[in-house]
Amino acid sequence: MLKTGMYVRCSIDVEDPNEPRDFITGKIIEINDFSETAKVQFIDLLELKKYYKVPDVLDFPFSKIHHCRISNGSLVVYNKTGYHIIQCIIDKTEPYLYYFLSSETGEVLKVCEKDIEASFNSGEISPLSQMKRFEFQNPMWYFGRSAVNKTMHTIDNAFYGFKELAGCKIFLKPYQLKTVMRCLSEPNCRYMIADEVGLGKTIEAASVLKVYLSDKKTKRYCYVFLIH
């Protein structure tokens, strides 16, 4: 039975709500037994909401949310003090979960889940439970998966050549990157790179060549290096 203060696993997938893939963890702050719905709050201790679209509060029917644990090692707040979860304690006679918390000073406390605050990406669920409900994704994977998707989207939509340069083992300095981007911006790249000795002219030229070689279109290249 769901109760106020419990942490639950919720879907926030707006693209395909019938077969959701994005799950996060929230805390029940209000229950309406008449409509069989719960108001769930999504807490953000790590200030991740400024990067990702996560709502503050949503209403869910009871059938769409499930009681879940908070992962061991997660940061939580109890009495305005930060702690880390050591272990979850399950008492079949109690509806709530309890946790052993550890502070930076080594203090260990046993606290009920309704008395702590935990971030929306700290939930835990067993793979077996996921399979039983035909689910796809663990809430603790949400942030990592979103970060990868956002990064790949940014790279794929960046200016020509950026994706290839992002995979280089050489870290280009700002002035080198500016030179490379200027060369790549022209339909026909015909530039003389004439910086002073030691500023990385060879690296700049090789970076431009890397982008052109990665392009499947047939092109002709001619690089001329002066020997001092």
Per-residue tens of pLDDT for the chain, all 228 residues: 899 999 999 888 766 777 777 788 999 999 999 999 999 999 999 888 877 778 899 999 999 898 999 999 999 999 999 999 999 999 888 999 999 999 988 899 999 999 999 999 888 877 777 777 666 665 556 666 667 777 666 656 555 556 666 666 677 777 887 887 787 777 777 778 887 787 888 888 887 877 777 765 666 777 777 666
Residue of 112, 103, 211 whose CA lies nearest to 158: 211
* Rg of the Cα atoms in the chain: 26
Q: Which of left, alpha, beta for 134 (phi over 0: left; psi -120 to 50: alpha)?
A: left
Task: With H, G, I as helix, E, B as strand and everything else as coil, classify residue 146.
Answer: helix
Task: With H, G, I as helix, E, B as strand and everything else as coil, classify residue 133.
Answer: coil
CB under 8 Å to 116, separation ≥6 — which residues?
Answer: 70, 76, 77, 78, 83, 99, 101
CB under 8 Å to 142, separation ≥6 — which residues?
Answer: 22, 23, 24, 120, 121
Write down the pTM of the prediction: 0.61
Amino acid making up residue 123: G
The neighbour count for residue 137, using CB atoms within 10 Å, is 17
Rounded CA separation 49/85 (Å): 22
pLDDT in tens, 75-114: 999 999 999 999 999 988 899 999 999 998 889 999 999 9
Amino acid making up residue 192: M
Residue count of the chain: 228
Dihedral sign (CA 10, 12, 16, 21): negative
Number of helices (H) and strands (E), helices first, in the chain?
5, 12
Share above pLDDT 70 across residues of the chain, in percent, rounded to a whole number: 79
End-to-end CA distance of the chain: 80
